Amino acid sequence: MESSENVVPGSLEVHSPFRLTGRWLPAAALGFGVAIAAAGAYLILSHTPWGVGVTHDGLFYLSAAQNFAAGEGVSWIGSGGQLKPLVHFPPFYPVVLGLLVRFGTSPAEAARWLSAVLFGLSASLLGFAIHRGTRHLWLGLVAAVIWLTSPVLLSVHLAAMSEPLYLALALLGLVSMASYIVRPSRRALVLSAAAVGMAWFTRWVGASLVAAFAVALLTLRRESLRDRLRVTITFLTIAVLPVALWLARNIALTGSPTNRTLGYHPPTLDTLRQLLDVLTRWVTTAHLSHWLEASVLAAGVVLMGAISIRQLTVGRAGRAYGATLSLIGLFSLVSYLLFLTASLTFFDASTRVDDRILSPVLPLGVLVILTSLGSLLPDDWRSLLAAPLVVAALWVTLPNAWARSGMLLTSMREEGLGFASRTWQQSATVEWIRGLPREAILYTNEPAALQYLASRAARGIPQRYDPVTLIPHTDYLEQLEGMRSELRQPGSALVIFSPGSWPDEAAPMRDLTAGLVVLASTPDAQIYVHPDSPEMPSPP
């Protein structure tokens, strides 16, 4: 073990034409990274003529970025037009966007360019990490291609979401931590700690990375316990301090660190089935037994861990980096799923287990699988004999994913996504709202969208319970009566945009529209007014 700890990966003599080392390694890495990064950035930019997609979460990020650029701090415009500090979401993503806005671009355009750059950089970083960990260039290319063609990763980079920044920082932190454990240096430790600290500053679940890396420092280094504890404390100090200061700021401003209330709402078996179905859908369209899905997942984790541990303890010289990279990836994957379960159970019952929320699992899984595979291959040209088998496996298991990517890119290029789509941008209802007098009061199921699209403050519709904590609103009936009272004001209206699915926490339509009359029906909305209003708005 001692000999492999001090080996610099890539420093050994090699014979494979697909493996570059020595003085050629920096040039090869630069060329590899630039090519993949350029391809990824072009892929995003060429398919977003309508701009980056804007989802509900994206509305908060873009609003906070605009306010930060304007000197209003990290804040967002809430229901009714009030400026509120951003607490529910971490601040780093909107701060980065806000800094770009100060150079003269819009928040949406800043998000578009940032997503494009990060998509390419993360693809090249993942590919180079696997190339370095396995010392096989073709495996790095396989990883980069999986990244560039994955509908899961494409979808989160085609919208104004925090995942692209989180994934890039997570990969940077992981590669740096593996470098530190194999060949310790202060620079690698600080870079890894800063990267995962900023990842936590980007998404709250980034705490899972901090925990996983701390475990790696305590278990994978062959040092005295005192030295391991000292290094781990240094790492935690750098990674945790910025977030701790921000949480203290949130408590001082709002009384809550993350706008969440501690409760108990454990995931159901349906949640576990959803998780297994999402992971299975990434690989195959076949409908499998959930018991089989769970067994394959558990067996895969155990197998990859066993291979990595064996390579770390008895493997050949030069394999320490790949085995360490794989084990840290496994720690991070398991930690992510545990933190997600804890969040669903105690903090945020509204989290949906879907492609977006599980997107960090995909690159971690690719990294673990390919580095484990690479550790089993010979060091010379004979490793290329496995290439057709790997390509064949991808071709058999991933055609559904590639087809989904094609449809996603076509839809994005022709129609756009979310509130930046052609439908919303050309909405006659939104255009009508822009022309309403400023004193008119609007209630809607899309208040943030109206602020974004029409620069119009609107009030959200009453809710029966809090979707995050599942605690019922005791003033629900008072909210309904207050809405009806305000709709008596001249020119006021209730605008219900056609939702894909009506959220369960929202007031039922019969409660919302009781005592109101239909002013107009448009292709994308129903507009209601109070019959006692002294002056009704003109219909669109």
The Cα 324–Cα 311 span in angstroms is: 9
Look at residue 475 in the predicted model and tell me its pLDDT: 93
Domain match, 511 and 396 both: no
Report pLDDT digits (tens) over 25-75: 555 566 667 778 888 888 898 888 888 999 989 999 999 999 999 999 999
Residue 445 CA from chain centroid, whole number? 25
**Residue pointed to by tokens 């492999």:** 4
Domain match, 251 and 333 both: yes
Domain match, 437 and 357 both: no
Look at residue 431 in the predicted model and tell me its pLDDT: 93
**Domain contains 57:** yes
Question: What tokens were used for 469?
Answer: 């904590």
Classify each residue of 59-85 as buried b or exposed e, where b means 16 or more C-beta atoms within 10 Å of its C-beta: bbbbbbbbbbbeeeebbbbbbeeeebb
Contact 470, 265 (CB under 8 A): yes
Single residue among 414, 438, 464 that ends a domain in this structure: 414
Contacts of 459 (CB under 8 A, 6+ apart): 79, 80, 441, 442, 443, 444, 447, 483, 486
Look at residue 501 in the predicted model and tell me its pLDDT: 64
**Domain contains 432:** yes
The Cα 126–Cα 182 span in angstroms is: 18
Look at residue 79 in the predicted model and tell me its pLDDT: 65
Look at residue 466 in the predicted model and tell me its pLDDT: 85
Backbone angles phi, psi at 349, to 5 degrees: -75, -10
- Candidates 115, 129, 126; CA nearest to 47 is 115
Domain match, 406 and 432 both: no
- Candidates 446, 471, 470; CA nearest to 457 is 446
Domain match, 401 and 458 both: no
Name residue 479's amino acid: Q
Domain match, 288 and 228 both: yes
Classify each residue of 229-265 as buried b or exposed e, where b means 16 or more C-beta atoms within 10 Å of its C-beta: eebbeebbebbbebbeebbebbeeeeeebbbbeeeeb
- Candidates 136, 213, 141; CA nearest to 170 is 213
**Residue pointed to by tokens 């076509």:** 410
Domain match, 298 and 402 both: yes
Name residue 458's amino acid: A
The Cα 519–Cα 506 span in angstroms is: 22
Domain match, 394 and 358 both: yes
Domain match, 246 and 130 both: yes
Q: How many domains does the chain have?
A: 2
Which residues form the domain of 350? 2-414
Full 3-state SS string of 202-215: CCHHHHHHHHHHHH
CA atoms within 13 A of residue 174's CA, in its CB half-sphere = 35
Residue 370 CA from chain centroid, whole number? 22
Domain match, 124 and 218 both: yes
CA atoms within 13 A of residue 70's CA, in its CB half-sphere = 13
pTM summary value: 0.88
Look at residue 82 in the predicted model and tell me its pLDDT: 78
| Mean pLDDT, all residues of the chain | 86
Full 3-state SS string of 91-127: CHHHHHHHHHHCCCCCHHHHHHHHHHHHHHHHHHHHH
**What radius of gyration, in Å, describes the C-alpha atoms of the chain?**
26
Written as tens digits, the pLDDT of the chain (540 aa) is 333 444 333 333 333 434 444 455 555 566 667 778 888 888 898 888 888 999 989 999 999 999 999 999 999 887 666 788 999 999 999 999 999 999 999 999 999 999 999 999 999 999 989 988 888 888 888 899 889 989 999 999 999 999 999 999 999 999 999 999 999 999 999 999 999 999 999 999 999 999 999 999 999 988 899 999 999 999 999 999 999 999 999 999 988 898 888 888 888 888 888 888 888 888 877 788 888 888 888 888 888 788 777 777 765 545 688 889 999 999 999 999 999 999 989 988 888 899 999 999 999 999 998 988 877 776 665 666 676 767 666 766 666 777 888 899 999 999 998 899 888 988 999 999 998 888 889 999 988 888 888 888 889 999 999 887 788 999 999 999 999 999 999 889 999 998 556 888 899 999 999 999 999 999 999 999 999 888 888 888
Single residue among 414, 439, 458 that ends a domain in this structure: 414
Domain match, 381 and 492 both: no
Look at residue 240 in the predicted model and tell me its pLDDT: 96
CA atoms within 13 A of residue 122's CA, in its CB half-sphere = 30
Look at residue 244 in the predicted model and tell me its pLDDT: 95
Look at residue 340 in the predicted model and tell me its pLDDT: 93
**Domain contains 181:** yes
Residue 195 CA from chain centroid, whole number? 15
Single residue among 389, 414, 439 that ends a domain in this structure: 414
**Domain contains 141:** yes
Domain match, 77 and 167 both: yes
